């Protein structure tokens, strides 16, 4: 049989527990007095900052300390608006105007015990909503795993080609073209959370009586982040 072309697509994936957890928060209030509403949100935000400060430690040179529990945090701008509430008996009559103020905050933790403790403390802040936790790997780990899965995907493509070649009586194959699938920001590599292993994760309004009952035992374990790669390779048989 004369030489022929074999085109295969190799796949590979590696799962690793997340190394960073970014807590997404919303801070909001509504009421009849615009200044009071805005002041409440600003005051709550300042309280959050005071909780973050001892966790976000830096070295004398200004770099993040190696033992810092928080590696980054950000605060959004204050947003305000108002809306009219109509009288129930006369829909054309305005009963009152409600003013709303809000902002958002993200806090990235490397220490998940500190993350759980911080989330527990939010029970005392009724203006705070926990929107969720985004789990991720560090950039160093992303690069390391990207290299590994690309290599594994290439090997998978080669093994597939060798299987097909052997079926048709050919002993060897040679690479003639490699096409990297356009996925993610690392060329042919994609990232995604693949399993939920979080225990006692917070969510929703931190309101109620504000005593934090039932939140002392919050425990966070990182979800697994899957790093996957896909590559299409064209081979020529000998």
Range of the domain at 26: 22-135
Q: With pLDDT > 90 as the criterion, what percentage of the chain qualifies?
A: 74
Which stretches of the chain drop beneath a pLDDT of 50? Answer: 185, 196-202, 204-215
Q: Which residues of 40-78 are buried (b: 16+ CB within 10 A; e: fewer)?
A: bbeebbebbeebbeebbeeeeeeeeeeebbbbebebeee
Q: Number of folded domains in the chain?
A: 2
Confidence at residue 209, expressed as pLDDT on a 0 to 100 scale:
44
pLDDT tens digits, 174-205:
999 999 876 554 556 888 876 544 444 445 44
Residue 145 CA to residue 188 CA, distance in Å, equals 12
Classify residue 206: in a domain, yes or no: no
Confidence at residue 208, expressed as pLDDT on a 0 to 100 scale:
41
Picking from 115, 135, 155, the residue at the C-terminal end of a domain is 135
Classify residue 207: in a domain, yes or no: no
Confidence at residue 1, expressed as pLDDT on a 0 to 100 scale:
77
Residues 83 and 126 in one domain: yes
Confidence at residue 25, expressed as pLDDT on a 0 to 100 scale:
98
Confidence at residue 86, expressed as pLDDT on a 0 to 100 scale:
78
Classify residue 203: in a domain, yes or no: no
């Amino acid at each position: 049989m004369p030489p022929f072309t074999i085109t295969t697509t190799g796949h590979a994936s590696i799962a690793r527990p997340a190394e960073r957890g970014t807590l997404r928060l919303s801070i909001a209030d509504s009421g009849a007095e615009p200044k009071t509403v805005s002041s409440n949100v600003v005051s709550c935000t300042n309280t959050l900052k005071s909780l973050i400060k001892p966790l976000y430690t830096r070295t004398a040179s200004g770099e993040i300390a190696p033992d810092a529990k928080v590696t980054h945090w950000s605060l959004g701008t204050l947003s305000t608006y108002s809306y009219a509430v109509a009288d129930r008996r006369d829909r054309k009559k305005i009963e009152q105007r409600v003013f709303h103020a809000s902002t958002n905050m993200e806090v990235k933790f490397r220490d998940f015990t500190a993350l759980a403790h911080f989330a527990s403390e939010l029970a005392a802040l009724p203006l705070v909503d926990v929107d969720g936790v985004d789990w991720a790997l560090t950039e160093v780990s992303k690069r390391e795993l990207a290299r590994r899965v690309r290599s594994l995907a290439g090997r998978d493509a080669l093994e597939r080609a060798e299987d097909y070649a052997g079926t048709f009586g050919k002993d060897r194959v040679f690479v003639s073209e490699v096409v990297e699938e356009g996925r993610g920001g690392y060329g042919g590599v994609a990232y995604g959370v693949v399993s939920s292993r979080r225990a006692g994760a917070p969510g929703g309004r931190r309101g109620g009586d504000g005593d934090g009952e039932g939140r002392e035992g919050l425990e966070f374990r990182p979800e697994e982040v899957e790093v996957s790669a896909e590559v299409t390779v064209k081979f020529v048989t000998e």
